[in-house]
Amino acid sequence: MSESTEFIDRGSMQAPRLLRRMACWLYEGLLLFGVVFISGYLFSTLSQTRHALDNRHGLQAFLFLIFAIYFTWFGHKGQTLAMKTWHIRLISASGNPVTQTRALCRYVLSWIWFLPPLAVVAPYELTGSETLVICVGWIMVWALTSRFQAQGQFWHDIWAGTRLVNEPPASR
């Protein structure tokens, strides 16, 4: 069956437990460290940046684009490496594979995990630990709001028309 016509069994459309999704989320962040490292090196080499704060906004825009490509590509394929490890699959709300447009929409909407706390701390001169507490607090609250959603999905998935589902491990 081709990937574009593949259909997920509706009985398997149960959302993974919140703890497992958050563990996958943290593992994804760990894997993205390598992506950021290589991308940052590539950007600084190509732009001849000599100091870490030079071209800071250019680097941020470049990383935003690299992440968009990463999450759109793997979202369209259904799983990132972290999702494969944690046996989680991304599908459309109807159970079909995710289109690249929908995956890109999901990526943009997923910034709700970070933008509100960053907008709150931006006007203040907070220490790193104070900023960390506010950001982690928001992430915890935002993750827990999925418990109030009937299907247990994260809100950015609902808005993007996607869902995370359990994927049974492949038999050997």
The helix/strand/coil state of 71 is helix
Tokens at 155, concatenated? 């809100």
Give the dihedral of Cα atoms 158, 162, 164, 165; nearest 10 deg: 110
Report residue 80 as tokens.
């990132």
Residue holding tokens 């418990």?
147
Q: What is the pLDDT along the chain (172 residues), one digit of tens a residue?
A: 444 444 445 445 778 999 999 999 999 999 999 999 999 999 999 998 888 778 888 999 999 999 999 999 999 999 999 999 999 999 999 999 999 999 999 999 999 999 999 898 988 888 889 999 999 999 999 999 999 888 889 999 999 999 999 988 877 6
Q: Give the distance from CA 63 to its chain's centroid.
A: 14
Instruction: State both tokens at 56.
Output: 């800071």
The pTM for the full model equals: 0.83
